[in-house]
């Protein structure tokens, strides 16, 4: 039973890794640069824009706006390929770790059985 679960998690990890990295490679190959996004990035990185955001909401608003822009940037273009690759690697590592946990016998399993 343990050996079967170990193999299942191991195969899932390999599948996620292969499919994720192939998908990331395809996204990277076919991604185009978006000129509109670059223009918007220039506007929002300007000092006047950040000053106006700070006047309306304070330092926290500036930090949350910067975080929102960074997070939104992860989901398009070539940055999406890097995001998919990192997520695939992280999920595969999780599957390999689960396979390792399943394959290690518990201390209760290694103790000799007592006959009553």
| Residue 15 · residue 92 · CB < 8 Å | no
Structurally, how many domains does the chain consist of?
2
Of 95, 93, 89, 90, the C-alpha closest to 22 is 89
Q: Are both 28 and 84 inside the same structural domain? A: yes
pLDDT exceeds cutoff 60 at 32: yes
User: Residue 113: what pLDDT?
Assistant: 66
Instruction: Please tell me the distance from the alpha carbon of residue 104 to that of residue 110, in angstroms, as a whole number.
Output: 10
Burial of 16 (0-12, 13-18, 19+ CB in 10 A): buried
- Decide: 58 and 66 in contact? Cβ < 8 Å: no
Q: Is 114 inside a domain boundary?
A: no
Q: Are residues 47 and 63 in the same domain?
A: yes
In a domain, 42, yes or no: yes
pLDDT at residue 116 tops 60: no
Residue-level pLDDT at 45? 73
List the Cα angle 80/85/89 in 5-degree steps: 150
d(CA 29, CA 23): 10
Determine the Cα–Cα distance for residues 105 and 116; give it in Å rounded to an integer.
24
Identify whether 115 is part of a domain: no
Residues 39 and 28 in one domain: no
Per the CB < 8 A criterion, the answer to whether 98 and 5 are in contact is: no
Residue 39 and residue 63 share a domain: yes
Rounded to whole angstroms, the Cα distance separating 80 from 25 reads 10
In a domain, 18, yes or no: yes
Residue 24, domain extent: 1-32+80-103
Judge if 28 and 16 occupy the same domain: yes
Lowest pLDDT segment from 40-49, 84-93, 104-113: 104-113
Asked whether residue 42 falls in the same domain as residue 70, the answer is yes
């Amino acid at each position: 039973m343990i050996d079967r679960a170990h193999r299942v998690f191991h195969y899932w990890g390999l599948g996620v890794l292969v499919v994720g990295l192939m998908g990331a490679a395809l996204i990277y190959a076919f991604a185009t640069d978006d000129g509109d996004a670059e223009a918007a990035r220039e506007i929002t990185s300007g000092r006047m824009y950040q000053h106006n955001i700070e006047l309306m909401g304070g330092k926290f608003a500036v930090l949350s706006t910067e975080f929102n822009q960074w997070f939104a940037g992860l989901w398009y273009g070539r940055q999406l390929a890097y995001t998919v690759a990192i997520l695939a690697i992280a999920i595969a590592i999780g599957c390999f770790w689960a396979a390792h946990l399943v394959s290690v016998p518990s201390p209760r399993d290694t103790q000799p059985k007592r006959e009553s």
